Structure 1
Amino acid sequence: MRNHLLRQPGHYLFLLPALLVGLLVWSATLDAEVGSPVHRILPLVLTCLGMGLALSYTRVRAVCLLLAIALAFALLHGLVGNFQHTGAVSAYTPLLFHAVSLWLPVAFLAYGVWPERGRLRQDLLLRIALGATGVGVFALLAMQAPQGMHDLLSNRHWPWLPTGWSALAQLPSLAFVGAAAVLTVQAVRTPRPLHTAMLVALLVLWLMLPRAFRVPSLLPALTSAALLLVIAAMLQESFHMAFRDELTGLPGRRALNECLQRVGSTYTIAMVDVDHFKAFNDTHGHDTGDDVLKLVAARLATVGDGGRAFRYGGEEFALVFLDRPGAACVDAIEAIRAAVEGARLTVRDRAARARDDAVGRLQRGAGGGGTVVQVTVSIGMADSGVGDTPQAVIKAADRALYAAKDAGRNCVRAHGQQRVLAVRGGMAQDSASR
């Protein structure tokens, strides 16, 4: 759990602008003016923007959640506006309010845990059809017996449930609790920005609903915050897809190129290659090869002295040290080489692996008699003194990497150096004799 995504502060950064916008809208909105049409503009614009992005990124869940939030806001805004205009609530206002309070958490629960299949049109039509069918059946029952439906939603009390723990009626409150519990489990087990955003947006709406008539300015403010949470999560996930390697979790080649465009006059680049990687794949299979890459990436991510690790491609990685010459980076690079060498990987027998994925996940980490293998890396390094461009420095580091391979692997070599800079104690050797 040390490297679990929820323990990384960057996972939560997208929450800040959404909550800040909600706070600013709330502070700039007068309660008496909430019912005016102008206060529908921001949620409407955010809904259109978010749905456009979601459709472009094929995020069906986000489309459905944005629609649910927007429809709930439109209905509540009309009810609040009518209340501000007339000073009284209509006969259907309590029923509509409690219906929104029930269907919002139900929508979050249904759309939040329903996995996406990658078929935009079919998935979207199916979700909208099922949602519309459920709401349509509810509306027909409510029109047939409005008082009975109102009593079910607002006057239903269970003696085993304490009173006063929620400002909403018991049935909608239980729906919020259930949806929040399921989304919390999902966010912990499969941490993604969208999963976190759905949970926080649900809590924001839960905070808003019982106060919508008493503090009307919260309605556009917190609705906008909930919409922005979903939009910001989509943007962050899209950024990760473009700039972060999915297998290892390290920044990818595109992120490396972005970093190299901002280097100063002094910097160092080290190219890292996994030794005998093809043999790992051929002997133990590609799953084991992926495990090797993950192990190496986890060690590289701990590089010190201000270094940053990137997945360069295949079994090759890159370390970038900004504002540091090569001589000042040797200790950090050697520490990384030693950390990889000191790690051990247990390879389970492929014939003994469970065919069922769920059973296989339970077996991981349970020990067992697998083959223990050692992983090592060869590293070549060069600094900005060898070339005028980052591409020239990378080529020089690559040549040093090939020299480290020729020197017997599991060592560090700098460009232009004839001697191995660092290798495990007692194994230093002069490549001039080779």
Structure 2
Amino acid sequence: MGPLKHIIWLLGLTVFAIWQMPNIPNWPLALQKLLPWLPYLIAGLGIFVSVFLNRLQPILILASLVLFNAGMQYFVPQADVSLSAITLYPVLALLLPLNLLFWLLFPERGVQDKLYVLFQLVLLAAQAYFVYWVMVNLPLEYWRWIASPSGYDSVRLPFVAMLTMVAVWFLMMFRNALLSHAKVLDQTVVFVLILMAFGLNAFYQYGALAWTSAFAAVMILLSLIFDAHHIAYTDQLTGLKGRRALLESFLGLGRKYSIAMMDIDHFKSFNDTYGHDVGDLVLRTVAQELDMIATGQVYRYGGEEFTVVFKGKTPEQVMPALETVRKAIESRVLNVPLNGQEVETHVTVSFGLAARDAQHKKPHEVMKYADDALYQAKEAGRNRIVIAGEPLKATKPKTKSNTRTNTKSKTARPGQKRQTAGRKRKA
């Protein structure tokens, strides 16, 4: 699920929660009595899942929501002079957006680092003392500034709190734009802040804050699930879907499909020559080129091997796309370090392509058929595409090496041996 799809469901939940908020007084009495407890129940479930997934950030965010709700629910409506709506409400409204941003900026280290967890909990607890100290010691003129109204009839939030929420919201959006791989939680907190702003603005309507807080907790819980799914099904190095996602995709392929197996030529000797860091760069580069195939879904099968699944396509229909990718990878220049100087090098790839037929009806059989065709491509000289069951075509002259540098000497690239179906495939 891409970033846009996450934004769609987050936006949908946000709009629904805000739309239903004015209707809370019309709910059955039993639901109205249950509503104040919902944020605590859902947040508790979210904290349990976070511990199970070794995620500290959502725990701290949910804890902030719970403590914020408790403070507003049990202290703000009271008439006590030191803890009244005039003082505590603007302070908590000011602290909430800062907390949401604060916990996102701290690096995620999980719940196993006990000292780090203790440090974060101390920071959380210190805020309670800070609120108490501020309410006891802050001069009256500062209170007037913090609690000053926004000046708009429809906005009941204090001006300072409203300005802080807007500033934090823009900072979150800017941060997410800079992240190369923003987690779902990063996107979710942006919408959590919007929900909490609406809930705070309608705080004196019964159940409004509890309702928006419950939806905020639901969003965080769902973000945990989506993030866990992404980690389980996505290859971290290339950003492509992994083998688990490939195997699950076989469940709905239907009767007409093609599968291509691709291998980077001479990858083992390339790693030995240039190092594993450059090897990782090559894997990411090849993955980027493969991901440009619009008609198929690309997966990293393992090591230097990739799989492309073409649902509803024949080999003849997908050959042009594969040939375009093969040529693009072959012509791409890589500048890499070697012996203290920068050299130019290239990589090539080989494809084996197969389609479902009467002898190969199951996806894993078709994939094995494509793997055999890949072996033939290696035997025929690499840097080519071989369609299973068809005579070999001279799509590319046989090359001794897939790497070329701008130095005078060339390093020989011995083939990598790999056992495949009782035969040894060249790398």
Structure 1 length normalisation: TM-score? 0.80
Does structure 1 conserve the Cα–Cα contact (< 8 Å) formed by 2:94 and 2:161? yes
- One-letter amino acid of the counterpart of residue 72, structure 2: L
Alignment of 1:82-101 (within 5 A): 82=77, 91=81, 92-101=84-93
Q: Does 1:329 align with 2:318?
A: yes
How many pairs align? 390
1:320 to 291, 309, 316: 309
Q: Does 1:281 align with 2:271?
A: yes
Partner of 2:110: 118
CA shift, 1:412, in A, is 0.4
Task: Report the CA distance shift for 1:142/1:185 in structure 2 as closer, same or farther (over 3 A).
Answer: same
- One-letter amino acid of the counterpart of residue 59, structure 1: R
Partner of 1:201: 192
Q: State which drifts further: 120-129 or 175-184.
A: 175-184
Does structure 1 conserve the Cα–Cα contact (< 8 Å) formed by 2:51 and 2:111? no
- One-letter amino acid of the counterpart of residue 76, structure 1: M
Structure 2: distance between partners of 1:23 and 1:102? 21
Structure 2: distance between partners of 1:109 and 1:23? 22
Alignment of 1:322-401 (within 5 A): 322-348=311-337, 351=340, 370-385=342-357, 386-401=359-374
Structure 2: distance between partners of 1:118 and 1:76? 29
Answer 1 or 2: which has greater helix percent: 1
Q: Does 1:54 align with 2:55?
A: no
Does structure 2 conserve the Cα–Cα contact (< 8 Å) formed by 1:187 and 1:195? yes
Alignment of 1:221-232 (within 5 A): 221-232=211-222
Partner of 1:432: none
Does structure 1 conserve the Cα–Cα contact (< 8 Å) formed by 2:18 and 2:195? no
Identity over aligned residues, as a percent? 28
Structure 2: distance between partners of 1:46 and 1:350? 57
Q: Does 1:139 align with 2:135?
A: no
Structure 2: distance between partners of 1:287 and 1:18? 42
Structure 2: distance between partners of 1:47 and 1:350? 55
For 1:93, what is the secondary structure of its paired residue? Answer: coil
For 1:416, what is the secondary structure of its paired residue? Answer: coil
Partner of 2:408: none
Q: State which drifts further: 52-61 or 131-140.
A: 131-140
Q: State which drifts further: 126-135 or 238-247.
A: 126-135
Give ranges in structure 2 of 5+ residues lacking alignment. 398-427
CA shift, 1:149, in A, is 6.4
Task: Report the CA distance shift for 1:350/1:40 in structure 2 as closer, same or farther (over 3 A).
Answer: farther
Alignment of 1:285-296 (within 5 A): 285-296=275-286
- 1:152-207 Cα shifts (integer Å, max 9, x gaps): 5314x9xxxx9669753343234324433432332122222111112221233223
Alignment of 1:11-90 (within 5 A): 11-16=6-11, 18-19=13-14, 22-23=17-18, 25-26=20-21, 29-30=24-25, 36-78=32-74, 82=77
Alignment of 1:97-176 (within 5 A): 97-120=89-112, 121-143=114-136, 147=140, 150-151=143-144, 153-155=146-148, 167-176=156-165
- One-letter amino acid of the counterpart of residue 220, structure 1: A
Structure 2 length normalisation: TM-score? 0.81
For 1:94, what is the secondary structure of its paired residue? Answer: coil
1:210 to 191, 197, 201: 201
Partner of 1:185: 174
2:230 to 240, 258, 262: 240
Root-mean-square deviation (CA, aligned residues, Å) is 3.1
Does structure 1 conserve the Cα–Cα contact (< 8 Å) formed by 2:14 and 2:191? no
For 2:313, what is the secondary structure of its paired residue? Answer: coil
Q: State which drifts further: 320-329 or 141-150.
A: 141-150
2:388 to 415, 418, 430: 415
Structure 2: distance between partners of 1:348 and 1:152? 59
For 1:234, what is the secondary structure of its paired residue? Answer: helix
- One-letter amino acid of the counterpart of residue 72, structure 1: F
Q: State which drifts further: 227-236 or 146-155.
A: 146-155
CA shift, 1:22, in A, is 2.1
CA shift, 1:10, in A, is 3.7
Partner of 2:249: 259
Structure 1: distance between partners of 2:331 and 2:5? 29
Task: Report the CA distance shift for 1:14/1:315 in structure 2 as closer, same or farther (over 3 A).
Answer: farther
Does structure 1 conserve the Cα–Cα contact (< 8 Å) formed by 2:18 and 2:198? no
Partner of 2:416: none
Does structure 1 conserve the Cα–Cα contact (< 8 Å) formed by 2:35 and 2:211? no
- 1:114-141 Cα shifts (integer Å, max 9, x gaps): 1122353333322111111232133134
Task: Report the CA distance shift for 1:404/1:57 in structure 2 as closer, same or farther (over 3 A).
Answer: same
For 1:29, what is the secondary structure of its paired residue? Answer: helix
- 1:290-330 Cα shifts (integer Å, max 9, x gaps): 111111111111113x3110000000000001122333322
Does structure 2 conserve the Cα–Cα contact (< 8 Å) formed by 1:347 and 1:372? yes
Structure 1: distance between partners of 2:361 and 2:394? 24
For 2:252, what is the secondary structure of its paired residue? Answer: coil
For 1:329, what is the secondary structure of its paired residue? Answer: helix
Task: Report the CA distance shift for 1:31/1:115 in structure 2 as closer, same or farther (over 3 A).
Answer: farther
